[in-house]
């Protein structure tokens, strides 16, 4: 009886998960490279760095970078939409690394670089940090080229950290039954965030996200590799909570 009470209490607590208390996702390193050539069409997908479904960085033949997923062109002191930036200009004494996100000041790209004219070229070969606001993701980034003037055709290049799937939906540092319940609650929803159970950042919560959870968890719920029926979901939730309770007892 006591175990059942603990299980029910744990279930209620998990279902009331609070995003506000979650830590951001942090990706480090500069393993992914992107470059837009001079005069390349910024609206063609091959000339966009699609970081996430709603974040696609590109540049016109002049001016600054913008988010081609939601913007038609660069907007002064705003673009790229959905992002904030930390450069040496607005963080002169801080270590510019995604792992140091809490100590950094983040602003729109133009303000952070120091201005539309001289700012962007000055950021070349500097460490910087990009914040993807809606998903609350921080990643290392370093511009390695910036085309200056109309003859440069809006060319630019950078290296950044690569985003990989995460089934740690409550962002508490591990993948467990709590994360399964978040996936279950968000199942079959679209236009969602990683917080909602979208492990692969494709904007939906589905069986592929459950598979990523299973892999990260250790395959404990191997019977549920396909999308479970509602009764199966309840059983899976019970098993996940049971495992979480057992782990708690063994700590």
pLDDT at 6: 39
Task: Dump the DSSP string for 186-216.
Answer: HTT-BS--GGGT-TTSSSB-SHHHHHHHHHH
The count of other CB atoms within 10 Å of the CB of residue 5 is: 9
Residue 76 tokens, joined? 């002064």
Q: How many Å apart are CA 69 and CA 57, to the nearest integer?
A: 8
pLDDT tens digits for 139-155?
999 999 999 999 999 99
pLDDT at 185: 95
Interior angle at CA 45, CA 44 and CA 48, nearest 5: 100
Identify the DSSP state of 14. H
CA nearest neighbour of 92 among 114, 108, 109: 114
Per-residue model confidence as pLDDT tens for the chain (251 residues): 444 333 434 444 544 444 556 899 999 999 999 999 999 999 999 999 999 999 999 999 999 999 999 999 999 999 999 999 999 999 999 999 999 999 999 999 999 999 866 689 999 999 999 999 999 999 999 999 999 999 999 999 999 999 999 999 999 999 999 999 999 999 999 889 999 999 999 999 999 999 999 999 975 443 333 344 444 455 455 555 555 555 554 55
CA nearest neighbour of 157 among 57, 53, 27: 57
Q: How many Å apart are CA 21 and CA 80, to the nearest integer?
A: 27
pLDDT at 218: 75
Q: How many Å apart are CA 227 and CA 233, to the nearest integer?
A: 9
pLDDT at 243: 53
pLDDT at 135: 97
pLDDT at 38: 98
Residue 179 tokens, joined? 């994360």
pLDDT at 247: 52
If residue 177 lies in a helix (H) or strand (E), which one and from where to where?
A: helix 177-186
Residue 165 tokens, joined? 């799937």
Task: Dump the DSSP string for 115-172.
Answer: -TTTHHHHTTT--EEEEETTTTEEEEEEEEEE--SGGGTT-EEEEEPPP-----TT-S
């Amino acid at each position: 009886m006591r175990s059942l009470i603990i299980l029910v209490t744990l279930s209620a607590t998990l279902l009331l998960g609070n995003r506000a208390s979650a830590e951001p996702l942090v990706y480090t390193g500069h393993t992914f490279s992107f470059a837009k050539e001079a005069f390349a069409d910024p609206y063609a997908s091959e000339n966009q760095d699609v970081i996430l479904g709603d974040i696609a960085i590109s540049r016109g033949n002049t001016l600054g970078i913008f988010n081609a997923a939601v913007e038609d062109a660069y907007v002064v002191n705003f673009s790229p939409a959905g992002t904030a930036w930390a450069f040496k200009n607005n963080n002169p004494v801080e270590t510019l690394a995604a792992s140091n996100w809490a100590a950094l000041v983040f602003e729109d790209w133009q303000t952070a670089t120091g201005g539309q004219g001289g700012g962007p070229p000055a950021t070349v070969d500097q460490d910087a940090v990009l914040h993807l606001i809606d998903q609350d993701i921080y990643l290392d980034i370093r511009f390695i080229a910036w085309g200056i003037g109309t003859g440069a055709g809006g060319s630019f290049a950078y290296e950044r950290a690569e985003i990989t799937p995460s089934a740690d939906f409550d962002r508490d540092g591990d993948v467990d039954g709590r994360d399964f319940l978040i996936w279950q609650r968000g199942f079959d929803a679209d236009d969602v965030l990683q917080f909602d159970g979208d492990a692969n950042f494709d904007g939906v919560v589905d069986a592929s996200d459950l598979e990523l959870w299973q892999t990260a968890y250790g395959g404990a719920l191997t019977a549920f590799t396909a999308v479970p029926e509602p009764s199966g979901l309840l059983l899976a939730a019970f098993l996940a909570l049971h495992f979480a309770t057992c782990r708690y007892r063994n700590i």
